[in-house]
Amino acid sequence: MDKIPAIFPRMKRFYALLLLLAAFTSLRAAEPSTVEQQVAAAVKSTGVTVVHFWAPWCPNCLSELSKNGWSRFIAANPDVNFIFVTIWNEEDGRAVLAKNGVGPQKNFELYLHPNPSRIDGEKMETFLGLPVTWTPTTWIFRNGRLRYAFNYGELRFLIVQQLLRDTSDKWDR
């Protein structure tokens, strides 16, 4: 009987440490990644920034890249900053982009999100506090404010061009 009370303080310490570890882990998970911090700083800059979430295995993403779709679009809009964030993939897909003419443009940046998981419950589902539920996903920012969001599927570049013109207007909507 004398040994039982001695176990309780150890168990209390063990459970306290376990709770602290769980709290620390959940706080760490809530911290934005370095990639997210870099993109947040970029979209706050003056001007228009397009943030495009893509994956090299995604058929819709590959369709957008075909026939140099993104390459021509980026070249046609030199005053717009384009940021591609590779998601749900181990590698950044730079070779796939290069094969389709994307990468050498001065107004282009490529980031790899650090969480490559594609498993529900594990994968990255938010970025800059906004939902990312599909790839491709494309957002248009001006001076740090989200102006337009395409959260599902392949883009039509003529429509995006019009939205870039609207976003660039002097009149602040």
Residue 123 lies in a domain: yes
Count of structural domains within the chain: 2
Summarize pLDDT for 24-62 with one digit per residue, the tens: 444 344 578 999 999 999 999 999 999 999 999 999 999
Asked if 22 and 49 sit in the same domain, the reply is no
Residue 153 has what pLDDT? 80
Contact (CB, 8 A) for 50 and 140: yes
Least confidently predicted of 19-33, 46-60, 93-107, 110-124? 19-33
Tokens for 82?
A: 């384009």
CATH of the domain at 154: 3.40.30.10
Residue 110 lies in a domain: yes
Asked if 18 and 48 sit in the same domain, the reply is no
**What secondary structure does DSSP assign to the chain, as a single string?**
--HHHHHHHHHHHHHHHHHHHHHHHHHHHHSPPHHHHHHHHHHHSSSEEEEEEE-TT-HHHHHHHGGGHHHHHHHT-TTEEEEEEE-SSSS--HHHHHHTT-S--TTEEEEE-S----STTTS--EETTEE--SSSEEEEEETTEEEEEE-SS---HHHHHHHHHHHHSSS--
Higher pLDDT, 6 or 47: 47
Pairing of strands 145-150, 137-142: antiparallel
Residue 118 lies in a domain: yes
Residue 173 lies in a domain: no
Residue 112 lies in a domain: yes
Asked if 47 and 87 sit in the same domain, the reply is yes
Cα–Cα distance, 37 to 111 (Å, whole number): 11
Q: Which domain holds residue 103?
A: 32-168
Residue 48 lies in a domain: yes
Contact (CB, 8 A) for 108 and 125: no
Residue 133 lies in a domain: yes
Asked if 88 and 9 sit in the same domain, the reply is no
Asked if 102 and 25 sit in the same domain, the reply is no
Asked if 129 and 83 sit in the same domain, the reply is yes
Distances (CA, A) of 87 to 11, 16, 51, 55: 42, 36, 12, 6
Residue 161 lies in a domain: yes
pTM comes to 0.80
Q: Using 50, 70 and 90 to split pLDDT, how confident is the model at 2? A: low
